[in-house]
Amino acid sequence: MPARSTRHVTILEVAREARASKTSVSRYFGDERERLSRELQGRIASAAKRLGYRPNQMARSLKGGHSRLIGMLVADIRNPFSVAVMHGVEQACRASGYSLLACNTDNDPAQESAHLSVLASYRVEGLVINATGSPHGALQAVIDRGTPLVLLDREVDRVDADVVGLDNPRAIDMALEHLAERGYRELLYITEPPEEASSRQRRMARFQTRLDDFGLTGESLCLPLTGGTGIPHDAIAAFLNRPGAAPKALLCANGKITLAVTRTLQALGVRLGETGLMGIDELDWCELVAPGITTLAQPTEAIGRAAVECLMQRRETQRHPSPPRHIHYQPVLIPRGSTQR
Amino acid sequence: MPARSTRHVTILEVAREARASKTSVSRYFGDERERLSRELQGRIASAAKRLGYRPNQMARSLKGGHSRLIGMLVADIRNPFSVAVMHGVEQACRASGYSLLACNTDNDPAQESAHLSVLASYRVEGLVINATGSPHGALQAVIDRGTPLVLLDREVDRVDADVVGLDNPRAIDMALEHLAERGYRELLYITEPPEEASSRQRRMARFQTRLDDFGLTGESLCLPLTGGTGIPHDAIAAFLNRPGAAPKALLCANGKITLAVTRTLQALGVRLGETGLMGIDELDWCELVAPGITTLAQPTEAIGRAAVECLMQRRETQRHPSPPRHIHYQPVLIPRGSTQR
DNA sequence: TTGTAAGCGTTATCAA
DNA sequence: TTGATAACGCTTACAA
């Protein structure tokens, strides 16, 4: 049992209790135990334990400039994809002795700026950012200040930082290949507003570009899901009811779209498979909605870990800055009944 | 544009630039602007802006003891319920000027202790804890140290802290009432290991106690979902195949169980509705799995906000500690086809 | 191997 | 209304 139960124990109290100097105690809890005699180590260890001592990170940070904190900005914490990546980030941080200060921006640039400012005030040593769309200068300011920064999934104009995410062109190619192979000919690509995220732009552009190569025709539909406003059933119904015998399929740009579209298709009484349905992002329930929804899974944990690795690398080589790295992961195709005619 | 792009600006530099003292600048950024002349305020404001000054929270915390940090321990960050609560917690924290240091324990007591210790080292001013099962003394130690603490969903033996969560007995009563009303007679209650969480115990105990009152029979099944090991289809199949004409229904103790059980039922080719299915926790996909899965939704955001309110209240009345509060929220029944015979 | 002393950037106490 | 100055708890030269 610790002797004193209220308030925090300081290094000085431990030093007194162990009949040693603050310096020695500091060395013990820093990485310099080997410099202390066995005996002194023992005294300090037991004194610290007796008193229940934990070094004050705030003081450490103030003196040494090492907050041991990594900041993360998540655009939408209720998106399972974001959470999965965040899980990877947190694991990796902890493995490197860092704690994660994660903030949710709800896709709101104002919250993004506010959080960025808070994170700076805690002197985070690195930032992992799943940015909202708006290209404000706060990000570049962070970099200029010398804080390593990694962009997740979304690049930001005129911010030269490392970027980690999905290989978007490849993902689209895989989707088109799969749909063509399964015999679908007319596609509808459904996305959230592309302005808001570079990954959305990449995917949509690639979709338009490569249709021909796979002998497909197609068009895009933009769904602003933000407000609680319903999904425009009409646009989707119009596509499905268009005359012609060519098999039709829907391609959803991300998990949120897949959810909204699946709801719509059920409301419209569409039979999956006959009408193809495929989505980027794997979700818990995709195998449950009969006959199963085909997806392209992102390696979320790997993405999270890679982001932290970039950070750590920059931290070590801060003197010799290297050009921004772009790391793109391959998706994994999970074929299910929704693309089986 | 800030003049100096590298490193952080200190209060001293602002003071010089504004031809003022550190004290005045400190007052400006503290809550004492009114004590400064209009003119000095102006000089400081513009100097700070010019230099891009942000107060160093670490230094502030060291001096005043106010880290403006709230810590949160989440047992399973990939559980949508936990994330939804966390969202509420974060909103509430921000509204009160606090930042949230959220840690995921993956239901591992060792990680829980480790994180607790880290959070303490950052001198968090309050803790919101969704505890793992193990009743280790670290929690009580936190309280003794004077840090306000709120338990989420799960109580912990011999830790007298505020508790916020679902009204578990009421939830079970609502489920039983609904199932009885819909004509089901034989129930199987499926839960994760109750030892790990008080809420699981409460629910299961209530289930056993109240069956009779609703004219039902039933039993419980414990599913350890932790390992990647599959779900015991056999136990569920055995229940369903038991002879007798009494309509059967499954009641799932939480969202994770609902997911696992739904998978199992699909594998077994069970028709939902004919066999009843109901779960505690509302999930995105419950309306999508035909004919829709009936759930009891928890008011997650409210729970998160209430937790932070408890914290703030304790912080204000720290001199006069009051007995622990227990706040229990009513669930909301969302009836769907899975309980429609 | 151990200790002394000078800060890190801020706020609180006192005085002007 | 303003400003020196001494902490806060820790790390890090520099001495011994």
Say if B109 falls within a structural domain: yes
A90 touches chain B (CB under 8 A): yes
> Angle B300-316/B80-95 helices, nearest 10 degrees?
40
A229 touches chain B (CB under 8 A): no
Give the alpha-carbon dihedral of B57, A111, A191, A158, to 10 degrees. Answer: -60
Residues 3-32, chain B, touching A (beta carbon < 8 A): 5-8
> Both A231 and A289 in a single domain?
yes
Say if A90 falls within a structural domain: yes
Say if A139 falls within a structural domain: yes
Strand D at less than 7 A from CB of A22:
yes
| Residue B289 with chain A: CB contacts under 8 Å | 285, 288-290
Q: Which residues of A123-162 are buried (b: 16+ CB within 10 A; e: fewer)?
A: bbbbbbbbbbbbebebbbbbbebebbbbbbbbbbeebebb
- DSSP conformation letters of B214-280: GT-EEEEEE---SSS----HHHHHHHHHSSSSS-EEEEESSHHHHHHHHHHHHHHTPPBTTBEEEEE
Strand D at less than 7 A from CB of B39:
yes
Tally of structural domains, chain A = 3
> Both A174 and A294 in a single domain?
yes
Cα B117 from Cα B125, distance rounded (Å): 14
Cα A285 from Cα A293, distance rounded (Å): 9
Q: Position of tokens 């390696």?
A: A299
Residue at the smallest CA–C1' distance to nucleotide D5: B23
> Both A175 and A271 in a single domain?
yes
- The candidate with the shortest Cα–Cα distance to B78, out of B255, B297, B294, is B255
Q: Do B83 and A102 touch (CB under 8 A)?
A: no
pTM, rounded to two decimals: 0.92
Average pLDDT over residues B43-66: 93
> Both B156 and B277 in a single domain?
no
Region of poorest pLDDT, from A154-158, B9-13, B133-137 = B133-137
Nearest chain B residue (CA) to A120:
B54
A287 touches chain B (CB under 8 A): yes
Closest CB from A123, A141, A288 relative to B285: A288
Q: How many CB pairs under 8 A join A and B?
A: 130
Q: Domain span at residue B148?
A: 67-166+301-329
pLDDT of residue A4: 41
> Both A26 and A140 in a single domain?
no
Say if A62 falls within a structural domain: no
Please check the confidence at residue B101 and state whether its pLDDT lies above 50: yes
Percent share of chain B, pLDDT over 70: 96
Q: Do B123 and A57 touch (CB under 8 A)?
A: yes
CATH number for the domain spanning A293: value is 3.40.50.2300
Say if A3 falls within a structural domain: no
DSSP B187: E
The strand pair at A276-280 and A294-297 is best described as parallel
SS3 of residue A106 by DSSP:
coil
> Both A172 and A294 in a single domain?
yes
> Both B113 and B219 in a single domain?
no
> Both A288 and A204 in a single domain?
yes
Q: Do A99 and B103 touch (CB under 8 A)?
A: yes
Say if B136 falls within a structural domain: yes
Q: Do A87 and B103 touch (CB under 8 A)?
A: no
Closest nt to A12 (CA→C1')?
D9
Strand D at less than 7 A from CB of A318:
no
Cα angle B119, B120, B123; round to 5:
95
> Both B182 and B81 in a single domain?
no
DSSP A253: S
B78 touches chain A (CB under 8 A): yes
Percent share of chain A, pLDDT over 70: 96
> Both A87 and A201 in a single domain?
no
What Å value separates CA B303 and C1' D11? 42
Please check the confidence at residue B1 and state whether its pLDDT lies above 50: no
Please check the confidence at residue A201 and state whether its pLDDT lies above 50: yes
Band of the pLDDT at A321, cuts 50, 70, 90? confident
> Both B98 and B133 in a single domain?
yes
Which nucleotides of strand C lie under 7 Å from a protein CB?
1-5, 7-13
Band of the pLDDT at B135, cuts 50, 70, 90? low
- The candidate with the shortest Cα–Cα distance to B149, out of B270, B14, B324, is B324
Please check the confidence at residue B96 and state whether its pLDDT lies above 90: yes
Give the gap in angstroms from C-alpha A52 to the nearest C-alpha of chain B: 10
The strand pair at B126-129 and B149-152 is best described as parallel
Say if A5 falls within a structural domain: no
Closest CB from A57, A101, A123 relative to B56: A123
What Å value separates CA A63 and C1' C9? 9
Band of the pLDDT at B3, cuts 50, 70, 90? very low
pLDDT digits (tens, 9 = 90+) for A100-125: 999 999 988 889 988 999 999 999 99
CB under 7 Å from any atom of strand C: which residues? A 19-24, 27, 35-37, 39-40, 59, 62-63; B 8, 10-12, 22-23, 26, 29-30, 53-56, 59-60, 62-64
Mutate to test the interface with A, among B50, B58, B268 (most CBs of A within 10 A): B58
Neighbours of B41 (CB within 10 A): 18
Region of poorest pLDDT, from A182-196, B70-84, B312-326 = B312-326
Nearest chain B residue (CA) to A91:
B104
Q: Which helix (H) or strand (E) holds B304?
A: helix B300-316
> Both B325 and B203 in a single domain?
no
Closest nt to A36 (CA→C1')?
C1
Say if B87 falls within a structural domain: yes
A145 touches chain B (CB under 8 A): yes
Please check the confidence at residue B332 and state whether its pLDDT lies above 50: yes
Q: Do B99 and A118 touch (CB under 8 A)?
A: yes
| Residue A54 with chain B: CB contacts under 8 Å | 117, 120-121
